[in-house]
Amino acid sequence: MAKVTKNEIAIRPVGTIYEEDDAVVLRLEMPGVGKDGIDINIEGDALTIGGHREEPQTGTYLVRERRSSDYRATYALDERVNRDKVDAKMEQGILTVKLQLKDEVKPRKIKVKTT
């Protein structure tokens, strides 16, 4: 997990969580974080997402509104989530984590046969 240093604040990423037929999807805003700066862990019933954004510390600042910072959030997982089937991708500052549902809880279509 990315660690917070003395003058940095851990920020909870802003995002959306929604459910599809076969998965729960988290879309979190984490601007300035590259894919190598993200740490995703599942421990028991908890999904923890962390990330680090490094802001260069060069020159003499006249105004400094951006700083290096850490993102961190923990979400509770219910028993429907398959903890072995998790996909994550980072595109344009948006982290998308897709948690597949267990097969037995996915909706099923029943075909009607003709005789």
Write the DSSP assignment of 16-83 as a string of letters.
EEEE-SSEEEEEEE-TT--GGGEEEEEETTEEEEEEEEPPP--S--S------EEEEEEEE--TTEEE
Per-residue model confidence (pLDDT) at position 103: 83
pTM of the model: 0.78
Name residues whose C-beta falls within 8 Å of residue 86's C-beta, 6 or more positions apart in sequence: 40, 42, 97, 98, 99, 100
Delimit the domains of the chain by residue range. 10-55+65-105
pLDDT band at 6 (very low <50, low <70, confident <90, very high): very low
The pLDDT tens digits of the residues spanning 56-103 come to: 777 888 887 777 788 999 999 999 999 999 999 999 999 999 999 998
Length of the chain counted residue by residue: 115
Fold of 10-55+65-105: Immunoglobulin-like (2.60.40)
